Structure 1
Amino acid sequence: MSPALPTRRQDIEAVRVLAAFGIVWFHAHAPQLALGYAGLVVFLVLSVWLSAGSRQGWAAVRQRARRLLLPWALWFVVYGWYVHTLRLPVVDTRHGLLAGVLAGSNIHLWYLPFMFAVLLLADGLRRLLPARGLALGAGLLATALALAIPLWRPHTLGSFYPLRQWADAALPVSYGLMLLGAGALTPAQRTAALAVPVLAAALMAPLESFGLTSALGLGVCAWLARRPAPAPGGWSVQWLSDLCMGIYLVHILVLEALLLRTPLRGALLAVAVFAVSALLVAGGRALAPRWRGWWS
Structure 2
Amino acid sequence: MAFAILSSLSAAAQAEAVTLRAISAFPANLEFTKQFQAFIDRVNRSAEGVVAIQFVGGPEVIPPQQQDTALRNGVFDMQMGPASYYNGTVPEADALFGATVSPVEARKNGATAMLNGIWREKLNAELIGWQSGDVPFYVYLVDEPKMAASGSLDLTGIQMRSTPAYREWFEALGGNNVMLQTSEMFTAFERGVVRGLGWPGISFTDIGVHKFLKYRVAPPVWQLDLVIMMNGAKWDGLSEEAKKVITEAAIVHEEQTQKDFAAIAENEAKILEQAGVQTVEVAEPAAHRKIAHDLVWTRLEGRDATHAAALREKLYAE
TM bin (shorter chain): under 0.3
* Structure showing the higher helix proportion among its residues: 1
Tell me which protein shows more strand as a share of its residues: 2
The one of the two structures with greater contact order (alpha-carbon pairs below 8 A, sep at least 6) is 1
Using the size of structure 1 for normalisation, the TM-score is: 0.27
- TM-score, normalization: structure 2? 0.25
Larger radius of gyration: 2
